[in-house]
Copies of this chain bind each other. A is one copy, B any other.
Amino acid sequence: MLVVKKFGGSSVADRERIMNVARRCIEDYEKGNDVVVVLSAMGKTTDGLLEKAREITETPSKRELDMLLVTGEQVSVALMAMAFQSLGVQAVSLNAAQVAMRTTSAYGQAKLKRIDTERIRNELDARKIVVITGFQGINKYDDMTTLGRGGSDTTAVALAVALHADFCEIYTDVDGVYTADPRIVPNAKKLSEVSYDEMLEFASLGAKVLHNRSVEMAKRYGVKLVVLSSLTRAEGTIIKEKTSMEKMLVSGVAADKNTARISVLGVKDEPGIAFRLFNLLARYRINVDIIIQSVGRDNRKDISFTVARTDLQETMKIINDHLEMLTADSVSADDTVAKISIIGAGMTSNPGVAAKMFEALSGANINIKMIATSEIRITVLIDEEDASRAMRVVHDAFSLAD
Give every chain B residue within 8 A of A70 (Cβ-Cβ): 74
Which of A56-64, A202-210, A282-290, A330-338 is the contact stretch? A56-64
A57 to B79, CA, bound (A): 9
- Assess the B75–A49 pair: CB atoms within 8 A: yes
Q: Which of A85-93, A245-253, A349-357 contacts B (4 or more CB under 8 A)?
A: A85-93
Do the beta carbons of A81 and B61 come within 8 Å of each other?
Answer: yes
What chain B residues lie within 8 Å of A98 (beta carbons)? 97, 142-143
Any B CB within 8 A of the CB of A101? no
Given contacts A71-B74, A74-B71, contact A79 B93 (CB under 8 A): no
Does A55 count as interface, using CB distance less than 8 angstroms? yes
Q: Which residues of B contact A95 (CB under 8 A)?
A: 67, 144
Known: A52-B79, A63-B92. A85 touches B57 (CB 8 A): yes
Known contacts A53-B79, A68-B79; 9 further A-B pairs (Cβ under 8 A)? A56-B83, A57-B82, A57-B86, A61-B81, A64-B82, A67-B78, A95-B144, A97-B142, A98-B143
Is A15 an interface residue, CB under 8 A from the partner?
yes
Across-interface contacts of A19 in B (CB, < 8 A):
56
Q: Is the CB of A55 within 8 A of B143?
A: no
B60, B65, B67, B85: the one within 8 Å of A61 (CB):
B85
A112 at the interface (CB under 8 A from B): no
Q: Give the dominant DSSP class at A's interface.
A: helix
Report A131 CB to chain B, min CB distance, Å. 9
Q: Give bound CA distance, A270 to B232, whole Å.
A: 70
- The answer on a CB contact under 8 Å between B56 and A75 is no
The 4 closest A-B pairs by CB, nearest first: A57-B86, A68-B78, A71-B71, A67-B78
Residues of chain B with a CB closer than 8 A to A199's CB: none
Give this chain's copy count: 2
Is the pair A57, B83 in contact by a Cβ cutoff of 8 Å?
yes
Contact A85 B67 (CB under 8 A): no
Number of interface residues of A (CB under 8 A): 38
Known pairs A83-B56, A98-B143; A68 contacts B61 (CB<8 A): no
A55's partner among B15, B52, B61 (CB-CB below 8 A) is B15
Q: Is the CB of B49 within 8 A of A64?
A: no
Cα A85 to Cα B77 in complex, Å, equals: 30
Tell me if A18 is interfacial: C-beta within 8 Å of chain B: yes
Q: List 29 A-B contacts (CB under 8 A).
A: A15-B56, A49-B75, A52-B75, A52-B79, A53-B78, A53-B79, A53-B82, A56-B79, A56-B83, A56-B86, A57-B82, A57-B86, A60-B85, A61-B85, A64-B78, A64-B85, A64-B92, A67-B78, A67-B81, A67-B93, A67-B95, A68-B78, A68-B79, A70-B74, A71-B74, A71-B75, A71-B78, A74-B74, A95-B144
Contacts of A61 in B (CB 8 A): 81-82, 85
Within 8 Å CB of A55, what residues of B? 15
Q: For A79, what are the chain B residues with a Cβ–Cβ distance below 8 Å? A: 52-53, 56, 64, 68
Closest Cβ of chain B to A69, distance in Å, is 8
